């Protein structure tokens, strides 16, 4: 069975009509993983026994005529920085190799409560630090559209699982574009919600003020449905927002008449690929045909976003990753002579090069004599970036940008130049700094048949409007 274009609502409909059994679909998923994942390498671990147990239970309920949950029997892949009880959770790092958490992340628990079946944990850049999924401590994930290219990062495994037909939906995390960039590179839909919309309980922290969990799917409708399920207040997360959650998929078919969309002039950067620019301009025309009003806007502090992000994110990473010391969980190395020696040897062996780089940068930025010059200044610029968006949203309802300045790049192309890799996130990081919701929607392919995505940004907690615009674009694009 081919899941590459399958949607969750269609699959549940087939179950209800007794056209398919959940068990045979789950079997076909694992068959596809066995066939395809030896090349793509999207998964770090599989949850076969649990998945088949869940499938048989749902099949029995279908046979008895019971009402099904909205995602009953839908295969889902989970990024391996989210806790899943009794399943290995590594964050793509050797320092957590073999770690099994005693609890499940709230977002994953809510998906399972809606009937979804977890088929496996997906590969990622170590501790979500990267833009290509080349920084995993275990292996590189490849783009299903062309195995010589990256799937984007850090949630590359989740995007590749959906694009490769090995899962219908997937969860990723987004700290600076880690959902939207892989969605763009792999030709699927990816949503980063407003900060606080989805509980971070059970998400292993990279940069706590930036991290947010969100869905991947083959359609905007599926993303809307998944987002409505995983959203909502959680007492286990002190940053969780107590804001009402309506079913986001309920109104996505409403028209876009007179919706105002802003185009930031600062996003037409010199490194913008001509084919990406062409697709982006085509998206602008599509929204005009849909009845939207297009306005030029300015986000003047965008040029400082990359520097600001890589100060704040690395500083928070330095603090968060201090807990990995070889004492409480994960691997332990040496320590015969002193505790300090054990810390040093454990971290030397357990952390990869990119994680070490970011810990060092963050520790430096937080150190005495440099805190005011770097970290404190970055916090002030972050406020200016937020104010740019607040001013823009006084005049427009949504903001449209490219998701990435390029389509997927070749594996190994940017690994020797960290700055070039960091600039891959130039269009996505401002969204995290401001805590806004964003979505990447497929907008065609380039001359090498690699997907290109466009990004919509909404005001805080305006996911419903953002998803409605994305759905209308998706539907219009498919009939072009």
Share of the chain above pLDDT 90, in %: 90
Q: Tell me: the pLDDT tens digits for 221-249? A: 999 999 999 999 999 999 999 999 989 99
Q: What is the dihedral of CA 430, 235, 74, 177, to 10 degrees?
A: 10
Q: Which residues, at least 6 apart from 15, have a Cβ–Cβ distance to it below 8 Å? A: 21, 22, 58, 62, 68, 72, 73
- Please, are residues 157 and 190 in contact by the beta-carbon 8 Å criterion? no
Q: Tell me: the pLDDT tens digits for 79-120? A: 999 999 999 999 999 999 999 999 999 999 999 999 999 999
Which residues sit opposite 75 in a β-bridge? 117
Question: Annotated catalytic, 219?
Answer: no
Catalytic residue among 136, 155, 178, 318: 178
- Provide the pLDDT for residue 269: 84
Q: Is residue 33 part of a domain?
A: yes
Catalytic residue among 79, 121, 192, 414: 79
Q: Is residue 3 part of a domain?
A: no
Of residues 2 and 401, the one with the higher pLDDT is 401
Catalytic residue among 93, 131, 132, 154: 154
The CA distance from 418 to 442, in Å, is 27
pLDDT over 90 (residue 477)? no
Share of the chain above pLDDT 70, in %: 99
Mean pLDDT, rounded, for 265-293: 95
Residue 207: which pLDDT band, with cuts at 50, 70 and 90? very high
Q: Tell me: the pLDDT tens digits for 413-451? A: 998 888 788 888 999 999 999 999 999 999 999 999 999
Q: Is residue 296 part of a domain?
A: no
Q: Is residue 192 part of a domain?
A: yes
Question: Annotated catalytic, 93?
Answer: no
Proportion of the chain in helix, strand, coil states, percent, rounded to 5: 45, 15, 40
Burial class (CB within 10 angstroms; exposed 0-12, middle 13-18, buried 19+) of 264 = buried
Q: Is residue 350 part of a domain?
A: no
Expressed as residue numbers, the domain containing 64 is 8-253+428-478
Q: Give the SS3 label for residue 296.
A: strand
Q: Which residues, at least 6 apart from 136, have a Cβ–Cβ distance to it below 8 Å? A: 44, 92, 123, 124, 125, 126
Domain count, the chain: 1
Q: Is residue 195 part of a domain?
A: yes
Burial class (CB within 10 angstroms; exposed 0-12, middle 13-18, buried 19+) of 274 = exposed
- Provide the pLDDT for residue 337: 82
Q: Is residue 440 part of a domain?
A: yes
- Provide the pLDDT for residue 479: 62
pTM equals: 0.96
Residue 187: which pLDDT band, with cuts at 50, 70 and 90? very high
Mean pLDDT, rounded, for 37-58: 98
Residue 271: which pLDDT band, with cuts at 50, 70 and 90? confident
Mean pLDDT, rounded, for 313-317: 97
Sheet strand arrangement including 438-445: 43-46, 117-122, 75-79, 169-173, 213-217, 189-192, 438-445, 451-458, 398-402, 260-264, 293-297
Q: Is residue 272 part of a domain?
A: no
Mean pLDDT, rounded, for 295-308: 96
Q: What phi and psi values does residue 275 have, to the nearest 5 degrees?
A: -75, -35
Mean pLDDT, rounded, for 463-477: 96
Mean of the per-residue pLDDT values of the chain: 95
- Provide the pLDDT for residue 2: 77
Packing angle of the helix pair 463-478, 274-289 (nearest 10 deg)? 100
Could you tell me how many residues make up the chain? 480
The CA distance from 134 to 160, in Å, is 13
Question: Annotated catalytic, 414?
Answer: no
Question: Which CATH number does the domain housing residue 118 bear?
Answer: 3.90.1300.10
pLDDT over 70 (residue 53)? yes
Of residues 112 and 1, the one with the higher pLDDT is 112
């Amino acid at each position: 069975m081919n899941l590459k274009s399958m949607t969750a609502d269609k699959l549940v409909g087939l179950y209800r009509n007794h056209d398919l059994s959940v068990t045979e679909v789950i079997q076909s998923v694992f068959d596809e993983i066995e066939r395809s994942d030896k090349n793509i390498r999207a998964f770090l671990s599989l949850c076969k026994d649990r998945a088949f147990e869940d499938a048989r239970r749902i099949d029995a309920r279908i046979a008895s005529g019971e009402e099904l949950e909205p995602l009953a029997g839908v295969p889902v892949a989970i990024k391996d920085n989210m806790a899943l009880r009794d399943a290995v959770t590594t964050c793509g790092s050797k320092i957590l190799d073999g770690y099994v958490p005693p609890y499940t992340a709230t977002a994953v628990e809510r998906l399972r409560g809606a009937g979804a079946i977890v088929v496996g944990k997906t590969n990622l850049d170590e501790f979500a630090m990267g833009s290509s999924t080349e920084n995993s401590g275990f292996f590189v994930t490849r783009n299903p559209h062309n195995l010589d290219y990256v799937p984007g990062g850090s949630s590359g495994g989740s995007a590749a699982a959906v694009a490769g037909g090995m899962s219908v939906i997937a969860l990723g995390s987004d700290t600076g574009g880690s959902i939207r960039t892989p969605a763009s590179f792999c030709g699927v839909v990816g949503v980063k919600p407003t900060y606080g919309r989805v509980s971070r309980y059970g998400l292993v922290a990279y940069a706590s003020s930036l991290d947010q969990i969100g869905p991947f799917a083959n359609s905007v409708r599926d993303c809307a449905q998944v987002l409505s399920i995983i959203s909502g207040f959680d007492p286990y997360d002190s940053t969780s927002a107590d804001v009402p959650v309506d079913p986001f998929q309920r109104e996505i078919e409403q028209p876009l008449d007179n919706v105002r969309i802003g185009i930031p002039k600062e996003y037409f950067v010199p490194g913008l690929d001509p084919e990406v620019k062409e697709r982006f301009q085509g998206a602008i025309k599509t929204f005009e045909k849909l009845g939207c009003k297009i306005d030029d806007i300015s986000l003047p502090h965008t040029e400082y976003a990359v520097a600001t992000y890589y100060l704040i994110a690395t500083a928070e990473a330095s603090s968060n990753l201090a807990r990995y010391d070889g004492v409480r969980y994960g691997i332990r190395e040496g320590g015969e002579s002193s505790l300090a020696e054990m810390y040093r040897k454990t971290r030397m062996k357990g952390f990869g090069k990119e994680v070490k780089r970011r810990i060092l940068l963050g520790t430096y930025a937080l150190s005495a004599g440099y805190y005011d010059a770097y970290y404190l200044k970055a916090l002030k610029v972050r406020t200016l970036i937020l104010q740019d968006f607040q001013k823009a949203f006084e005049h427009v309802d949504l903001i449209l940008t490219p998701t990435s300045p390029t389509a997927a790049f070749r594996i190994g192309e940017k690994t020797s130049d960290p700055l070039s890799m960091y600039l891959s996130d130039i269009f996505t990081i401002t969204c995290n700094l401001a805590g806004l919701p964003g979505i990447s929607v497929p907008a065609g392919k380039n001359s090498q048949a690699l997907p290109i995505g466009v990004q919509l940004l909404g005001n805080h907690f305006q996911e419903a409007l953002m998803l409605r615009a994305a759905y209308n674009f998706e539907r219009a694009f498919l009939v072009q």
